[in-house]
Amino acid sequence: MTDTRPHRITFANEKGGTGKSTTAVHVAVALAYRGAKVAALDLDPRQRTMHRYFENRLETLQRRGIDLPTANCEVFRGESIADLDEEVARMGEGADFLILDTPGRDDEFARHAATGADTLVTPLNDSFVDFDLIGQVDAETFKVRRLSFYAELIWETRKTRAIQQRKEIDWVVVRNRSGHVEARNQMRIEKALHELSKRAGFRVVKGLSERVIYRELFPSGLTLLDKGHLGELGTSHLVARQEMRSLLAGLHLNMPDNNSAPQLELA
C-alpha cells in the first residue's frame, strides 16, 4: 500500500524572533518552485505571521497580474489535539509537503506538531539565550551541562518512534543571524552546538543572516526566489540567495519520484 502522507516539516521552538516564519515561507516557496504541491498551516492564530505573508503574496500576484509558485496556507483555530490532527489530515490530502509554523512559546499544539514531524526545523539566533532552549552550558567553560526540556521532549519522541518502527524525526537546528555575532562568542556557540548535537541527535545547518531585505519583502509577500520581480538587486541580496540555497540543501528534502520539475536555481 502506497503511503500518501505528505512529508511534514515543522518549524518550531519556544522563543520568538529567530526568523522562524520567514524561513518557513522561503522553504515553502522554494519547494513550490521545484514543482511540489505545498500546503502550510499556521498554528499561531494571534500573530499568524506565515499566513499574513502568504496573504500578502496572493494580493501582490493578483495586483500585478503575475503567476508565481506559492503554497496553500491556512490558520489553525481548533481547540484540541484531535482538531489539529483532523486539520493536518485535511490539508495534507494531495500535498507533497505540509509545512507547520508554530508559535514562539510553549504550546500544546506546537509540541504535538513537533513530535509528529518528519523534518523538525528549530531556528536559533547565534546566542546562548537562544541556545538555552535546547541545552544549558557551564558559565565558566561553556561546555554543555544538560539537555533542556525541549531537547528532552524531542529525544524521547525519537526513542518512542524507534520502538514503534516509525520513520525517525530528522531534527535540524538552523543557525540564523550568525554573521552578526562576535567571533569568540560565535566559536563558543559552535562548539556547544557540536557537542549537544551528538547527545541530542540533531543536525546543524547554517541559516539566514540578519538582512533588511527579509523584512522589506514581507508587505509584498515576495521572496528572494522570485527573480525578475524584485527590482534591481544588490550584492547582499545575491549573497542571501546563496544562503537560501545552502539551507535548502542542508534540509535534505527529497522531491516526489513522479516530479520531473527542474531543480530550483537560486544564484
In the chain, domain spans: 7-251
- Considering only the top CATH level, what class is 7-251? alpha beta
Is 43 within 8 Å of 231 (Cβ atoms)?
A: no
Q: Which pLDDT score, from 0 to 100, does residue 235 have?
A: 76
pLDDT score, position 136: 92
Only one residue has cell 540564523, namely 176
- DSSP class of residue 173 equals E
Angle at 253 between CA 32 and CA 163, to 5 degrees: 135
Please count the other Cβ atoms lying within 10 Å of the Cβ belonging to residue 242: 12
- Do residues 207 and 174 make contact, with C-beta atoms less than 8 angstroms apart? yes
Prediction pTM value: 0.90
Instruction: State how far the Cα of 84 lies from the Cα of 39, in Å rounded to an integer.
Output: 14
C-alpha cell at position 143:
561546555
Q: What is the DSSP string of 80-119?
A: SHHHHHHHHHHHHTT-SEEEEE--SS--HHHHHHHHT-SE
pLDDT tens, residue order, the chain (267 aa): 345 789 999 999 887 788 899 999 999 999 999 999 999 999 999 999 999 999 999 999 999 999 999 999 999 999 999 999 999 999 999 999 999 999 988 889 999 999 899 999 999 988 888 899 899 998 888 899 999 988 988 888 888 777 776 778 999 999 987 655 567 888 888 999 999 999 898 999 988 876 677 888 999 999 988 988 887 767 777 888 888 889 999 999 987 765 444 444 444
What is the rounded CA–CA span in Å between residue 242 and residue 179?
14
In the three-class reduction of DSSP (H, G, I as helix; E, B as strand; rest coil), residue 170 is classed as strand
| pLDDT at res. 261 | 44
Only one residue has cell 511534514, namely 8
